[in-house]
A and B are shown apart, each in its own frame.
Chain A
Amino acid sequence: MKRLQENRIDQISKYLQAHKLDPELLPEILDHLACEAEESLWDGKPFEQIYRDMVKTADAQTLLNLSVDHQNLLAMEKSLNDIVFENRNKSYGAYDLRKGYGQTVQRSVVMGVAFFLLLVMLPQLYARLKPDPKPDDIAYIVEANPVDIKMEELPKPPPVEEEIAPAPKTVKSLTPEVLPDELVEIENLPPAIDELENAQPSTETVDGIANLDVIVPPVENVPSAKSEATGVEPKKEETFTAVEQSPQYEGGTEAMAAFLRKNLKYPRPASQAGIQGKVYVQFVVGSDGKVENAAAIKGIGFGCDEEAVRVVKMMKDWMPGKQAGIPVRVKFTLPIAFQLD
């Protein structure tokens, strides 16, 4: 197929434009006419004749009708705005505003109504979401964790370092006391000189370090000879429970047992009831050896307790207990057994 030359196509195009064909239609009509012309060229017609024929068919009236038809077609779609803005500057902004006006109004109405409804419904919504507190509701929950209260540990006073003074070697050496003859005991002999050679005098004989540099003063409670020299009763009325020398019944345990056997009488109610057991009688042996405050601290009843106390009170003086050689009051507990034969 013969191609139409560029300049020929331009010629047709100019002809169409000259007759004010709608620019939107131009390419299509141009193509159509060009195709027709090429067909005619194929048939061997000279272009000049073809062009004349073309102008005859595509006359001014036909082209005008085409344009008008097209405009009418478009007009059916066009809105009022398009007609108002026909041949005006559409990019200025007013056209866009007018075009989007309907949409804008619709959107704003929806938003406005939604906002208003929300505003009106807000209290109800809030009330629905947050129910009224019931009177028995617990307002606050305080979680109580068990609190460990620890006694603030008082800073321990630094343990008083009991200066256990390295016990120096001592030899029991009590200051000789001036006592009535019958009270003098043989055991409290002063130490021999040679014993004191390497030791210090003390109340006890301790096998300590022989030659200690530290000169330890003699034990304080070593009674001075003077205070007791006259054999006067010690002022101390303190009652001891344990002393170095516990009080003794005159004549020893044998003598005491015999005394008890001789004096104790089995109370009738007890023997009738068949009661037996031990009665603990507590008493104090005074520094003078007298038995005081005798009382049954634990008994078996049925007259046994009273009997035991009675006999204990009958006892003659004891040898008093001694602390550091000084007779002291000593609390003494004596168990007395009642036994049926």
Chain B
Amino acid sequence: MENSTTSNEYVRGTLKTIVLNLLAEHDRMYGYEITQEVKDRTGGAIALTFGALYPVLHKLEQEGLLLTESVEVDGRLRKYYSLTHRGNETARTKTNDLERFIEAVRLLLAPKNLATE
């Protein structure tokens, strides 16, 4: 629990990029699928709560980066998300930005003597 709350703090800033990146790898995904994908690939290190995920998805949709389609599955309406053309480009730039940021953070977190070496 402790672990997940701390991770949530960092996840909040990168969630948009994570979602875009996942959607770039798949044709279309629905909300629960995204959370499962994140949980599986990180071995549960990052757990997305629906309370955090859906506002991000809706915001991206409003920005015109995502398209939605509702399909009825098992008697329930399932909302699938897919990237628009512009969403694809944004996913690429944001992923690059995040990678550079992580590199920078890694440099900062590394012991000072190692970094200067």
Which A residues are closer than 8 A to B by beta carbons?
A: 3, 6, 9, 25, 27-36, 39, 57-58, 62-63, 65-66, 69-70, 73, 76-77
Contacts and interface: CB of A to CB of B under 8 A. Distances in A.
A34 B76 contact: yes
A34 B77 CA distance: 11
Interface of B: 30-32, 35-36, 49-51, 54-55, 58-59, 62, 70, 73-79
A31 B77 contact: yes
A324 to B, nearest CB: 134
Chain A, interface SS category: helix
A62 B51 contact: yes
Most chain A Cβ neighbours within 10 Å, of B30, B49, B50? B50
Contacts of B79: 27-28, 31
B54 A25 contact: yes
Contacts of A29: 50, 54
A27 B50 contact: no
Contacts of A39: 36
Contact of A66 (B55, B59, B70): B55
Contacts of A70: 55, 58
25 contacts: A9-B75, A9-B76, A27-B76, A27-B77, A27-B79, A28-B54, A29-B50, A29-B54, A30-B76, A31-B31, A31-B79, A32-B31, A32-B32, A32-B35, A39-B36, A58-B50, A62-B49, A62-B51, A66-B54, A69-B55, A70-B55, A70-B58, A73-B59, A73-B62, A77-B62
A34 B75 CA distance: 11
Contacts, number: 55
Given A32-B31, A32-B50, A66-B54, 11 more contacts: A28-B77, A29-B54, A31-B76, A32-B35, A34-B76, A35-B32, A63-B51, A65-B51, A66-B55, A69-B55, A69-B58
A58 B54 CA distance: 13
A66 B50 CA distance: 9
Contact of A73 (B30, B35, B58, B74): B58
Nearest to A4: B74
A301 to B, nearest CB: 126
Contacts of B30: 31
B80 to A, nearest CB: 11
Contacts of B31: 28, 31-32
A96 to B, nearest CB: 24
A35 B35 CA distance: 11
Contacts of A27: 70, 76-77, 79
Contacts of A30: 76
A28 B59 CA distance: 15
Nearest to B73: A31
Contacts of B54: 25, 28-29, 32, 66
A20 to B, nearest CB: 15
B67 to A, nearest CB: 15
